[in-house]
Structure 1
Amino acid sequence: MGAVKNKRMPRAVREQQMLDAAVHTFGQRGYRAASMDEIAELAGVSKPLVYLYLNSKEDLFTACIRREAKALTAAVRAGVRPGLPADRQLWDGLTAFFTHTAQNPDAWSVLHLQARTHGEPFAAEVTAMREEIVAFVTQLIVVAARAAHRNPSLPEREVAGLAEALVGAAESLAAWANTAPGVSAKQAAATLMNFAWAGLGDLMEGRPWAPSA
């Protein structure tokens, strides 16, 4: 059953209500299967009002992607406190990431699954979010290297590759954790820390892995 209609509800509040309904519907049913009728019903408004506020299904989906991408990046940034040891900063960032994706599974489905598979305009929105997170993680790795006083000048390409690998692993692990019973955000973060930090530590100590001759 949809929410009770309220003609006096401020536009900004009603629009967020529509986006909430749309994120849930897109996340549960997928972009193509979701209908504007069910989104309007869940939001407690008429379908013409959804079109009046958000123009089209494509524009509504884009608005959902932008809102949820902004919320995810803000959560990750807010979770990291500058001045702490490098490993703690990375741990806090990963914990914030997995906590947010666990608490907002429909939003994560929209960002990680739906937006990437339904056309370039949608994928481009997610790419912009991902680039921001990768840049943030890149800086965490650079700070960690400098703090270690062992390898303060890791090659830029190598640092960028490490950040890409770490973010990609986090994305895949979040998708898995959201469907695996009993896996908490902290457990997912610990899994990735155990996987990544040992390797980063060796790299900073000048012991990069290399294939045997």
Structure 2
Amino acid sequence: MDVVRAEDAGAAAGTGERRPKRMPRAVRERQMLDAAVRIFGRRGYRAASMDEIAELAGVSKPLVYLYLNSKESLFTACIRREAQALAEAVREGVDPALPADRRLWEGLRAFFTHTAEHPDGWAILHRHARTRGEPSAAEVAALREGITAFVTELIQAAAREAHGGPGPAEREVAGLAQALVGAAESLAAWANTDGSVAANEAAATLMNFAWAGLGNLMAGHRWSPAER
């Protein structure tokens, strides 16, 4: 990672040298968070070192504490930033003017593309944050709730398009959305671990699995256990 070392220092004062230009706080914080996401994502919370994060960011460790307070606060900030980025990527990847099946496809593709392009951030969200308890788990739960609500909207829209009416019961739609989001999370973890699975391939795999079932459901063809 290329970083710019621009610490506030008075070493140049009185030497005739030009004092380094102050870096904007937002830029410096982003620099620290970029480094923290990389270290936390690859090492996990416990093994991550604040010294290593500071070195990668090109700043002093006291400066990291000054800006982000503590290791726990830094970890929470990483979770919040990566969760927001993922949620925005999924929503922005969907064109509301498209048919329901295309919207679901574009949402899945945006999800798998983002998690593939940001593996450290996804590792924090999917693995490391869940082991830390509050407030880390709450941040991830909020992300999942938001994405699940979005998927619920897509399934409801598909039902309306198929029937011109409400379609399946609200509880059934909620269960389908939970199942789809859970499958997407597991598939993204597998795809990132495997390394050879492209985002489009992962999205197509889940789309083929999900849409065939959703299509039957929308058409009124329901599975039921065979009677003896």
Q: Tell me the equivalent position of 2:97.
A: 83
Q: Tell me the equivalent position of 1:3.
A: 3
Q: 1:94 aligns with which of 108, 120, 128?
A: 108
The answer on 1:187 being equivalent to 2:210 is: no
Which residues in structure 2 correspond to 1:157-176 (within 5 Å)? Answer: 157-176=171-190
The answer on 1:107 being equivalent to 2:96 is: no
Q: Whole-Å Cα distance in 2 between the matches of residues 126 and 212 of structure 1?
A: 39
Q: Whole-Å Cα distance in 2 between the matches of residues 108 and 68 of structure 1?
A: 8
The alpha-carbon deviation at position 118 of structure 1 amounts to: 1.5
Q: Tell me the equivalent position of 2:224.
A: 210
Q: Tell me the equivalent position of 2:32.
A: 18
**Which residue type is aligned with residue 62 of structure 2?**
P
Radius of gyration: which is bigger? 2
Q: Would you identify which runs of 4 or more consecutive aligned residues in structure 1 move more than 4 Å?
A: none
Q: 2:132 aligns with which of 110, 118, 122?
A: 118
Q: Assess if the C-alpha contact under 8 Å between 1:150 and 1:204 holds in 2.
A: no
Q: How many residue pairs get matched?
A: 213
What whole-Å deviation, never above 9, does each CA across 1:94-140 have from its counterpart, x for those lacking one? 00000000000000000000000111311111000100000000000
| C-alpha RMSD of matched pairs (Å) | 1.2
Identity, % of aligned positions = 74
Q: Whole-Å Cα distance in 2 between the matches of residues 181 and 58 of structure 1?
A: 30
**Which residue type is aligned with residue 67 of structure 1?**
R
The answer on 1:200 being equivalent to 2:214 is: yes
Of Structure 1 and Structure 2, the greater helix share is in: 1
Q: 1:67 aligns with which of 74, 81, 104?
A: 81
* Structure 1: tracts of 5 or more residues without a match: none
Superposition TM-score, scaled by structure 1 size: 0.97
* Structure 2: tracts of 5 or more residues without a match: 8-21
Q: Whole-Å Cα distance in 2 between the matches of residues 151 and 115 of structure 1?
A: 40
Deviates more, 1:21-30 or 1:176-185: 176-185
Superposition TM-score, scaled by structure 2 size: 0.91
Q: Whole-Å Cα distance in 1 between the matches of residues 106 and 2 of structure 2?
A: 37
